Amino acid sequence: MEDQAAKRLQDKRILIVDDDADVLAVVKQALQSEGALTQCCSDGNTAVSICESDPPDLIVLDMMLPRRSGFLVLEQVKTKENAPIVIMVTANEGKRHQAYAETLGVDAYMHKPLRLEKLIITAVDLLEERDEAAAQ
């Protein structure tokens, strides 16, 4: 069972962006246990820089970040051709923020505290959808 589970995100390149070191560590461990190749950063400017120089397949993006908000990161990366999938995570319960993220092109929106299995399933589903669409 573990061999099968370990392949759900095998070799998928995922950027995790959060200014909470504990969140970064937990999400990184969960995604790596599924075979993902992870990269982490803790501010919005670094996230944009990474996306420009070495675009990931998917970004797990906190909404509240230093130097550049998650919204501004989302807006910047979604303007690119072949933009990565973005899962925005936030402790904010407001619907207005989610609606705004959706207008900017977010692929999924999740609330903290994150349920790691739900995050993994969401990432797998979004990556599979993108791969299927590309194959058509």
Number of domains in the chain: 1
Q: Which of 25, 54, 55 is nearest to 40 (CA)?
A: 25
Of residues 38, 29, 30, the one with CA closest to residue 11: 38
- How far is the C-alpha of 19 from the C-alpha of 61, rounded, in Å? 10
| 3 pLDDT tier (thresholds 50, 70, 90) | low
Residue 132 within a domain? no
Whether 45 is in a domain gets the answer yes
Examine residue 135 and state whether it is found in any structural domain, yes or no. no
Whole-number Cα distances in Å, 28 to 4, 17, 65, 66, 79? 19, 10, 18, 20, 26
Does 130 map to a domain? no
| Euclidean distance between CA atoms 39 and 130, whole angstroms | 21
Does 136 reside within a domain?
no
- 98, part of any domain: yes
| Cα–Cα distance measured from residue 19 to residue 110, given in angstroms and rounded to the nearest whole number | 16
Domain that holds residue 38: 2-125
The DSSP symbol for 55 reads -
21 in a structural domain: yes
What is the average per-residue pLDDT within 112-119? 94
Q: Is residue 131 part of a domain?
A: no
CA torsion angle for 21, 26, 32, 33 (degrees, to 10)? 160
Each residue's pLDDT tens digit, 6-42: 589 999 999 999 999 999 999 999 999 999 999 999 9
Q: What is the mean pLDDT of residues 111-120?
A: 95
Band (pLDDT 50/70/90 cuts) for residue 136 is confident
The predicted model scores a pTM of 0.93
pLDDT tens by residue, 51-79: 999 999 999 999 999 999 999 999 999 99
CATH number, domain containing residue 92: 3.40.50.2300
